[in-house]
Amino acid sequence: MHILVLGGTGRTGRLVIDEALKRGYKVSVVVSHEYRLKHDPKLLDVHEGTPLNKYTLAEAMKGCDAIISTLNISRMSDFPWAALRTSEDFLSVSMKNILEAAAEKQVKRIIITSAWGVAETWKDIPFWFRWLVHYSNIHYAYYEHERQEELLKNSDTEWTAVRPAGLTDSLKEKEIKVSLNNSPKPSLTISRLNTAKFMLDVLEQGLYIRQCPVISEK
């Protein structure tokens, strides 16, 4: 399996790369600067640039079987009201470029991280978290996740939008609860590690095509 990982220098993306390499995948990455990688560049097919550049994406997609994206709207810190590091439309502009490049390179399978609370699941998240999203800069990510999901839904790709509950940095492997249409009711958290493993399982097993599973830990 040869995959392109986008967001590979982020906290979840690094774990996707770790797990993909353990499983024997060939991994291509697009990064702004090679030095930001936490992996030996010799183990990867590295392309310097950003997903805002369609030509960089197309070059990185050569020979790939699938794309896994953990891209997100980035803030200057984890503080909910911190200023944005990326543009407000970073995800939707990137997804437009991803879809154009994927069509050119005939890459059909795309798996992304979205979030529990996006689109129809907004009503399912706790009231206090809806308040936090609505009144802080977190809302930019939720709006953009919904926009990139819509772009995928209107494409002819075999996409999966994984919607994790609140992400933690725990390194414990736990059983995952998968919820569709709020059934079963999700729990509040899931680790980035288990999210990364789930995304690769979805790819390998051909699961949840054209679906948006919410994932949390049992």
Extract the tokens encoding 16: 């996707």
Q: Which amino acid is at 115?
A: A
The 10 Å Cβ neighbour count of residue 148 is 25
**What pLDDT is attached to residue 97?**
98
Closest CA to 154 of 113, 103, 201, 206: 103
* 96 in Cβ contact with 147 (< 8 Å): no
Gap between the Cα atoms of 17 and 81, Å rounded: 30
Domains of the chain: 2-217 (3.40.50.720)
Q: How far is CA 212 from the centre of its chain?
A: 12
Q: Give the model's pLDDT for residue 210.
A: 98
Backbone angles phi, psi at 197, to 5 degrees: -60, -40
Cα 180 to Cα 214: distance, rounded to the nearest angstrom: 6
Mean pLDDT by 10 residues, the chain (218 residues): 97 97 98 90 95 97 98 95 96 98 98 98 97 96 98 98 97 96 96 98 98 97
Peptide bond into 164 cis (omega under 30): no
d(CA 190, CA 168): 6
> What is the spatial distance between Cα 217 and Cα 178, in angstroms, rounded to a whole number?
9
Instruction: Report pLDDT for 38.
Output: 85
- pLDDT for res 130: 97
DSSP annotation of 20 = H
Radius of gyration of the chain measured on its C-alpha atoms = 16
Q: β-strands 176-179, 166-168: how paired? A: unpaired
pTM across the whole model: 0.96
